[in-house]
Amino acid sequence: MIPNFGMGTFRLSGSSLTDLVSEAIEMGYSQIDTAQFYDNEADVGKALSQTQSDNVFVTTKVWYESLKYQQVLDSLKTSSDKLQRDCIDLALIHWPSPNDEVPLEETLDALAEARERGLIKHFGVSNFTVDLLQRAVDHAGAENIMTNQIEVHPFMQNRKVTEACEKLGVKVTAYLPLAKGAVMDNSTLKRIAVEHDASAAQVALAWELHKGYVAIPSTTKVSHLRSNYEAQKLRLTDENMADIDALDERDRLIDPDFAPHWD
């Protein structure tokens, strides 16, 4: 099973990231999320090799320009070397192939082969729409699609996709759970935070965890790393949850030109 809480590493790199990952593992973080595109797998791997990380679940992602069968296998071998892991816990298709240039089925078959070879333990998808997710499940089986990692935060709740994930039995992993820091300025989240003697960021994370999503916040500060981790203890009321549900504005923050046609 994928741990429900982890550390994201998007836009982080270098020795400072290595130090942060080491701190996270010492605190008890049980998942570290990275990607080939982040160009920081080696920095993460250094931390993994220097700490007691045997029980840490490591997720990486195959970039959309490397989705052909042999490219997937080669790139995962490279990721494995950089991460200093003989076997990566979870590999995701980072973005679907634009205009289906590489058929999704080919990439899924390559991921299944990577699992057979022991390069990875599990595979899944990221930034998949309802139709793409259904296609992945139809080809590989829902039991083999561990998660769909998508943008989810109080202002972008991605309901069509999260509902499809629940229906199909695919776990939702929420990236950008703090909306690039925007949650800290929201009056509703701040009000709920005061009620629970917490921070607005902790409230946003607790909301995601309460919904059963995997949360992977990132930060550059050790103090925030610890605060995020402590959010797992926060219990929101049904009224709190309803108030946060009402904040949805479909405010998507990540939308590159190669993105699929969103639901």
Residues recognised as catalytic: 38
CA 105, chain centre distance (Å): 22
Q: By the 8 A CB rule, do 174 and 152 touch?
A: yes
122 is in an annotated binding site: no
Pairwise CA distance, residues 149 & 126, whole Å: 4
Q: By the 8 A CB rule, do 92 and 61 touch?
A: yes
Pairwise CA distance, residues 145 & 90, whole Å: 10
Pairwise CA distance, residues 35 & 75, whole Å: 11
Q: Which of 63, 67, 53 is nearest to 21 (CA)?
A: 53
Q: Could you tell me which residues are beta bridge partners of residue 147?
A: 171
Q: By the 8 A CB rule, do 80 and 41 touch?
A: no
Residues making up the annotated binding site for substrate are 94
Residues making up the annotated binding site are 94
